[in-house]
Amino acid sequence: MATLTVTQNFGKGARDLEVYRSLGGYGSISSRLFDLSQFELIDLVSRSGLRGRGGAGFPTGMKWSFVPRNSGKPVYLVVNADEGEPGTFKDHVLMQEDPHRLIEGMIVCGWALGVRTAYIYVRGEFLPAIETLNAALKQAYAAGLLGKNIGGSGYSLDIYVHRGAGAYICGEETALINSLEGFKGQPRLKPPFPAVSGAFASPTCVNNVETLMALPWILEHGPEAYQALGTPKSGGTKVFSVSGDVKRPGVYEVPMGTPLMELLESPELCQGIVGELKGVIPGGSSSPVLTAEEARKANLDYEALAALKTMLGSGAVVAFNTERSAVGMLTSLTRFYAHESCGQCTPCREGTGYADRIMKTIASGKGREGDLDHMLDLAANFSYTTICPLAIADAWPIENFIGKFRPEFEAEVAKNPDRGSPRVTKDFRPGAFW
Amino acid sequence: MSHHPVHVEQPSDAEILPRLETPGVLSRVEELIRRYPVKRAALLQVLWLAQETLGWLPNVAIRWSAEKCEVSPVHAYGVSLFYTMYKKVPTGRFFLQICQNVSCHIQGAEAVIAHAEKVLGVDSHGGNTEDGLFTLLRVECLGACGNGPVLQVNDSFATDVVDGELAMPIGVGLDPERFDRIVEWCRRRAAELPEEPVRDALGDILVGTDGHPGATGASAEVQGSYAPPPPALAVTASNVEEGRTKVTWKAAPETTVLHLETRQGGGEFAEVASLSGKDKEWIGELPAGAEIRIVAETAGVRAKPSNIAKGIA
Amino acid sequence: MSNSYNKPVLPKADSKKVSIVVDGADVEVPEGTNLVEALKTIGIDTPHFCYHQDLPVAGNCRQCMVETDGPRGMGLAIACYTPVRPGMKVATDRSSEKVKTARKAVMEFLLANHPLDCPICDKAGECTLQDNYMSSGKHESRMREEIGKQYKGAPEHRHLDAKGQDRGGKHIDLGPTVILDQERCILCDRCTRFMRDVAGDEQLYIAARGDHAFITTFPGQPLQHDYDLNVTDICPVGALTGKHFRFQQRVWLLSKTETIAPDDSLGANITVEHHDGHVWRIMPRRHPDVNKSWISNATRLLYQTLSENRLTGGSFRGADVPLADAVERARELVHGARKVALVASGHLTLEDNAALLALAESLGSRAEVFGGSWLAVGAPDGIARSGDPVANRLGCTLLGISDNLSDLVRRAKEFDCLVVAGHDLWAADAERAKSLSVIPERIALSAWHDATAQASTLAVGIRAWAEVRGSMINVQGRIQRLQAAPTAPTPDLEPAWQVISRLGHLGWTSEVDAFRFAQGRIPALSGLNYRTIGSQGRILEGVAP
Ligand SMILES: Cc1cc2nc3c(=O)[nH]c(=O)nc-3n(C[C@H](O)[C@H](O)[C@H](O)COP(=O)(O)O)c2cc1C
Ligand code: SF4
Ligand code: SF4
Ligand code: FES
Ligand code: FES
């Protein structure tokens, strides 16, 4: 059995503080944490090779080191538990199974950055997880693990759960902050970056649930041990959400660098594909899809997936078999991104909706010749021209599904007897009449 | 329930406000507001509370929330329409949301949705059954994709009924039979309980905190006033030449003063030198065998002492 | 909201210059500002929708794309939010295909869901969407019916059109002054930023999200604010239009005259827009240190009074007389009088008041000049009004005219002739004005049949503020220019200074003579002329109170 650093308490009833403690929980708080100076702790996290598990994979120690000290403003920690990327459900399970580990991780991060008030931003749909978290927080407060003067250290930390209300884009960290502040969850222009001016115009650290939950293990076993679990550049382990056509979908923690097929086929893990593998989305719905052939070559770490022109993202693996229609999957994704565009930037707002309408037209048998290229052109036009990467997150599936499964799309268009008739271009343009 | 807004008849202030202006609701509003340095930040939570209280969010409740959080009414209105989970129209007692996103899609979401439409006799874009029991809505990823296709009954995840309770067993997705069981569960519950008990929309409130230190009038505490200053670390001492000792250490960048202290024979530590927080080493004469430590000070507050280094004999 | 602290840094006359490379050429631009402004200083216009000099940067329209150099080579960036960095490389659409494509794409995206309203749109001719479409390269529409459009609109305004298409909100009565067309809105967020950050009263908001987002007030609540018509100026499309100007006149027919607002001592800079001798509207004219880009609704609607109730001739003891006769009669009365009270006016230009002083001088001890105002003075609103309705109060003070109307009231019996120039005393305070009725001959020079004209024995028509050239000194001590629009209701109406010059045989032939006289009284004006005052006015050293 591989070493588990985040999910080791699954199925052990660790929601309860006493159980969590009996499994060694809050060990870092009673032993090492407060002996470490803040900058030593940041250094330790840097050496562990821990990278953000929310999608971008930014080195956590480095992110922390950007948070200015004594800026004259409070420092906030905001936990990103807005998990919304289709295919991703690990944070959901992590919070339900082991909420105290998150709290412990937050205390570690809070101590490192000098945080007095922290928020856990949980997506609105996860009310059961919010209930779990609040119950755990209550226990932690009662045990003196939160609040004023934690364990006599002189350090004080308050944690609140903030319930989101249904918006995928709030997973983007600046949108998350806007949402926390009572605004629409629209991403902000950068700079300033949250580390310098985030929540309430104060230095803010936004970290994913899983990122923070890796900290207790790192503190207990040391950064080198954690780093050694993974590859030289992608240290540690990663929690994957596996869904789709596998025998046993679920949440699995494996060392970075594990071959994708091992995750899908190992009897201890997903136990194999249902049917014949057609492709895999390796890192959440926005990551470029891999064909079965590519999937067989893929290792699960940042660099290996980047080499295949896709990404580890949130670690959401969606496997699908040859019975699944690429057209149907892409239609489902373009609909999703159009639904979730925050509506700020013109290319994303109008473009994702436009692409969605074309996809629906194709899927309903009214596609025409040129529609596929039009889709690709639109996708290219809303990539890299927007405030946040949501538009690219739509463009990648469009480009890769059409790129890798083009015959299927063409067959769909071919169903339309009128596919070759000219476009309706009656549409006239401003200025045309004067 | 969707940001594709629908127009509904709005109730009057008199119908709604008395239900919101109750001591119970008001004290929770106050607690929510205390969590943040600005009242505005409580807006999403206060909207949740109003929705919990009323079952949906009429415009009056939005205006009420705006007043509580000191934002303009139109701000609260715009925000309430941005997020899909605020119900701008009342729903049935059991709000069934079925995920149609990619993982659920490939596991047969469309078939289950079609089945649900047929069984309930409503469309899946917010259709309501005539008995007021069900509202059916297709939604995007619910964050439980391993159980695709996924269903939420109100705020509970459910892909089956196990031991008479809604449940989402690992790896079990919704299918037509399970959907029927869930519908049956709902009907049975409706027969047993006249009304759906209110479920706390914020997952219960916290006790034991005083709220954000900056909330309601107090000034926001800045970093440093509540976390003890970082101590100096890794103090070592070595002999550089006859009678002279070199002391090195690590100190956090924000340290302002470093107090070098020594003691002999188990006595009290006494300050030998006061150094700048930026200094990296000290060389000077120390009595042989002295114990050496450093106390770092940041902005006038002394940290706990460093480790103790033994001077060279 | 989130980025409301991101106010653009604008170049100043004394901004330090740094060199950057634009499209391969070394150029000098002001430091610290954004690229839209920097490129403007070297003559390159960057198309944009959401950026506005006097609003926080939102950066959402993505039309202003340029390429700049970064750690990973040249890449697209929005010019409105990219600060000038010494030595940076910038590529505009003149050298970068990527930029060209990106800008064109934004146009295509915006038009994909825009209604085809231009022929019936009030904004046509000054619509940024039209302009940018022309400049970013027209494109073939790739639209087709099956794909359809997503029109914007609030739930209560959505409807199906004749073809069964789901449509958004059209001609929504948003309040007393503004009409909204939600379908035309391109969600640039300018109006909401104006209401929030300038007016300080957030009444507009973009609700919902994605391509379903729409601009709205709180349901059932009107848009109502003293400055709300400014949103119709900054709206880049025809989504927000002023009721007062809807379907009045096609904008490309209008000629513009730059002048200042006469209703407040800040002297908001404005343009009077006219066609065929008629003023159709007043628009704010940007002045960074006076009114930015804003004017109050009251100022904006002043043009309506220019064609109402005008005194186009003369009237003597209630009977109309030709203008020339009225002037002649006035001259006789003034010269025949034993003691004349001349009432100056802060509503008139320096030139008009100078003429009055020159008249007094010519009459010697038989004349006495009174000044001041009975109108209430309010507080500055921080936007485009000082709160003092007497526009040229400081000018009068500097000319040496005292604030002594109350003396006149007390000593009214000493006079047998009263000359009131452009000052509606009877409207300002009828009670006090009544005591002036003891003066047997009361001459009013007025542009309107106002209460004072009616209460006088002889009324002489003059030109109104929009029809004269001259100057006023605002509350900041800034001398600003008024220019004459060719819109006087009858051609023989003369400005007040000219009528007064006739009364006093001053022989002045143009405003310049009057200005010279004023220069004699106000040392700070020495060396200035209308050209050097310029369109942005001049601060006079040491005169501001
Ligand atoms: C469109 C979009 C959606 C995102 N959704 C999530 C999310 O659901 N959860 C998450 O942790 N990070 C999400 N992120 C990444 C965050 O912006 C951010 O990088 C992350 O929370 C940082 O935490 P980490 O460094 O611990 O990964 C998203 C980013 C984008 C652009
Ligand atoms: S890219 Fe899309 S989601 Fe991101 S800020 Fe722009 S409009 Fe919003
Ligand atoms: S109404 Fe006009 S100014 Fe307001 S957001 Fe829409 S386009 Fe912009
Ligand atoms: S895709 Fe259905 S729950 Fe995630
Ligand atoms: S003008 Fe720069 S993004 Fe709109």
**Is the predicted pLDDT of residue C1 greater than 50, yes or no?**
no
- Give the tokens for residue C46: 């960057």
Is C292 in contact with C54 (CB distance < 8 Å)? yes
What is the CATH classification number for the domain harbouring C52?
Answer: 3.10.20.740
A169 lines ligand 1 (CB under 6 A): yes
* Mean pLDDT, range A253-276, rounded to an integer: 96
Instruction: Say yes or no for a CB contact (<8 Å) between A433 and C118.
Output: yes
- A425 has pLDDT over 50: no
What residues line ligand 5, using a CB cutoff of 6 Å?
Answer: C 48-51, 59-64, 78, 80
Residue type, C374: W
pTM assigned to the model: 0.92
CA A392 / ligand 3 centre spacing (Å) = 26
pLDDT band, residue A422 (cuts 50/70/90): low
CB-based contact, C163 to chain A, within 8 Å: no
> For the residues A243-266, what does the mean pLDDT come to?
96
pLDDT at B256: 85
Mean pLDDT of C58-87: 95
Task: Compute the average pLDDT of residues C396-421.
Answer: 96
Collect all residues of chain C within an 8 Å Cβ-Cβ radius of residue B78: 205-208, 216
Instruction: Say yes or no: C511 and C365 in one domain.
Output: yes
Q: What part of A 113-142 touches C (C-beta under 8 Å)?
A: none
For residue C172, the enclosing domain spans 117-128+152-247
Residue C281 — pLDDT band, cuts 50, 70, 90?
Answer: very high
The answer as to whether C41 is a domain residue is yes
Separation of CA A57 and ligand 4 centre (Å): 23
Would the CB atoms of C106 and A368 count as touching at under 8 Å? no
**pLDDT recorded at residue B238:** 87
pLDDT category, C2, cuts 50, 70, 90? very low
Q: Judging by beta carbons within 10 Å of its beta carbon (0-12, 13-18, 19+), is residue C5 exposed, middle or buried?
A: exposed
What is the pLDDT confidence band of residue C135, given thresholds at 50, 70 and 90?
confident
Closest ligand, as measured to the CA of A242: 4
Q: How many CA atoms lie within 13 A of B214 on its CB side?
A: 19
Out of A188, A201, A429, closest to residue C141 by CB: A429
C160 and C107 in a common domain: no
Residue C93 beta carbon below 6 angstroms from any ligand 3 atom: no
C269 within domain boundaries? no
Domains of chain A and any CATH numbers: 17-227 (3.40.50.11540), 230-321 (3.10.20.600), 326-428 (1.20.1440.230)
Is C362 found in the same domain as C322? yes
Smallest CA separation from ligand 1 atom 20, residue:
A54
Instruction: Catalogue the long-range contacts made by C404-413 (C-beta closer than 8 Å, 24 or more residues apart).
Output: C404/C370, C404/C371, C404/C372, C405/C343, C405/C370, C405/C371, C405/C372, C405/C373, C405/C374, C405/C432, C406/C372, C406/C432, C407/C370, C408/C341, C408/C343, C408/C370, C408/C436, C409/C435, C409/C436, C412/C341, C412/C436, C412/C438, C412/C439, C413/C438
What's the pLDDT score for residue B204? Answer: 79
Q: Which of C195, C226, C247 is the last residue of a domain?
A: C247
- Which pLDDT score is estimated for A338? 97
Interchain pair B227, A200: CB under 8 A: no
Helices A390-404, A406-414: inter-axial angle, 10-degree rounding: 80
Any idea which ligand is nearest the CA of A318? 4
pLDDT score, position B224: 53
Given a cut of 90, whether residue C544 has pLDDT beyond it is no
Q: Which of the two residues, B216 and C62, has the higher pLDDT score?
A: C62
Cβ(A90)–Cβ(A244) below 8 Å = no
CA distances from B289 to B237, B238, B241, B283 (A): 11, 11, 15, 16
Start and end residues for every CATH 1.10.10.1590 domain found in chain B: 1-89+197-223
**Closest chain B CA to residue A326:** B106
Q: Which of A140-144, B125-129, C325-329 has the lowest mean pLDDT?
A: A140-144
Residues C118, A177: C-beta atoms closer than 8 Å: no
Question: Among residues C216, C247, C278, which one ends one of the domains?
Answer: C247
Taking only the tens place, the pLDDT of each residue in B200-222 is: 999 876 655 666 554 432 334 54
Residues C343 and C423 placed together within one structural domain of the fold: yes
Q: Is a pLDDT exceeding 60 seen at residue C146?
A: yes
Residue C263 within any structural domain of the chain: no
Q: Look at residue B226 in the predicted model and tell me its pLDDT.
A: 59
Question: Residue C407: how many CB atoms within 10 A of its CB?
Answer: 14
Q: Are residues C316 and C459 in the same domain?
A: yes
Q: Tell me which residue of B177, B97, B110 sits closest to B143, measured CA to CA.
A: B97
Instruction: Map residue C529 onto helix, strand or coil.
Output: coil
Find residue A422's DSSP bridge partners.
Answer: none
**What pLDDT score was predicted for residue B211?**
62
Q: Are residues C82 and C122 in the same domain?
A: no
Which whole number is the average pLDDT over B256-263?
A: 92
Q: Of C53, C46, C48, C60, which is closest to residue C3 (Cα–Cα)?
A: C60
What pLDDT, in 10s, does the model give residues A225-249? 999 999 998 999 999 999 999 999 9
Contacts of A200 (CB under 8 A, 6+ apart): A74, A76, A181, B36, B37, B38, B41
pLDDT at C506 over 50: yes
Does some domain include residue C438?
Answer: yes
Does C265 map to a domain? no
pLDDT at B205: 66
CATH number at residue C191: 3.30.70.20
- Domain B233-310 class? mainly beta
Question: Do C178 and C104 lie in a common domain?
Answer: no
- Tokens standing for residue B167: 């449940």
Which of A70-74, A251-255, C197-201, C279-283 comes out lowest in average pLDDT?
Answer: A70-74
pLDDT exceeds cutoff 70 at C123: yes
* Ligand 5, atom nearest to C65 Cα: 2
CA distances from C219 to B76, C156, C205 (A): 11, 9, 11
Over 90: is that where the pLDDT of C143 sits?
A: no
pLDDT at C195: 97
- How many helices (H) does chain C have, and how many strands (E)? 16, 25
pLDDT in tens, A293-337: 999 999 999 999 999 999 999 999 999 999 999 999 999 999 999
Q: What is the mean pLDDT of residues C324-328?
A: 97
Residues C421 and C493 reside in one and the same domain: yes
Residue C12 lies in a domain: no
- What residue type is C32 in one-letter code? G
Q: How many Å lie between the alpha carbon of A354 and the closest alpha carbon of chain B?
A: 16
For residue B247, list its beta bridge partners. B237, B282
Contacts across the A-B interface (CB distance below 8 Å): 246
Q: Which residues of A touch C99 (CB under 8 A)?
A: none
For C202, the closest of B7, B75, B81 (CB atoms) is B75
Other beta carbons less than 10 A from residue A414's beta carbon: 13
Decide yes or no: CATH 1.10.10.1590 for domain B1-89+197-223: yes
Average pLDDT (C470-476) is 97
Residue A381 has pLDDT above 70, yes or no: yes
- CA pair distance C456, C330, nearest whole angstrom: 12
> Residues of CATH 2.60.40.10 domain(s) within chain B?
233-310
Residue C152: helix, strand or coil by DSSP?
coil
Domain boundary among C215, C247, C279: C247
Predicted local confidence at residue B77, as pLDDT: 97
Confidence bin at B312 (pLDDT 50/70/90): low
pLDDT at A433: 42
Q: Is residue C324 part of a domain?
A: yes
Per the structure, how many domains does chain C have? 3
Within this chain, do residues C230 and C342 fall inside the same structural domain, yes or no? no
Distance from CA of A373 to the nearest CA of C (A): 12
For residue A432, the model assigns a pLDDT of 43
Confidence of residue A430 (pLDDT cuts 50, 70, 90): low
- C525 and C460, same structural domain? yes
Task: Report residue B18's pLDDT band, with 50, 70 and 90 as the boundaries.
Answer: very high
| CATH placement of domain B94-195 | 3.40.30.10
Average pLDDT of chain A to the nearest whole number: 93
Residue B21 has pLDDT above 70, yes or no: yes
Q: Where in chain B is the domain with CATH 3.40.30.10?
A: 94-195
Report how far residue C114's alpha carbon sits from residue C437's, in angstroms, rounded to the nearest whole number: 63
If asked whether residues C167 and C103 sit together in one domain, one would say: no
Contacts of C138 in chain A (CB under 8 A): 429, 431
Residues B243/B285, Cβ–Cβ less than 8 Å: yes
Contacts with B, C 204-233, CB within 8 Å: 204-210, 212, 216-221
Annotate C434-464 with b (16+ C-beta within 10 A) or e (fewer): eebeebebbbbbbbbbbbbbbbbbbbbbbbb
Is residue C114 within 6 Å of ligand 3 at its C-beta? Answer: no
* pLDDT at res. B216: 36
According to the model, what pLDDT value does residue A1 have?
Answer: 57
The percentage of chain A sitting over the pLDDT mark of 90, rounded to a whole number, equals: 84
| pLDDT tens track for A25-65 | 999 887 778 888 777 899 899 999 999 999 989 999 999 99
Confidence at residue C282, expressed as pLDDT on a 0 to 100 scale = 96
Question: Tokens 């052990």 correspond to what residue?
Answer: A12
Average pLDDT, chain B: 88
Residue at C234 is within a domain:
yes
DSSP code of residue B200 = -
Least confident of A21-25, C147-151, C381-385: C147-151
- Partners of residue B106 in chain A, C-beta under 8 Å: 244-245, 318, 320, 324, 328-329
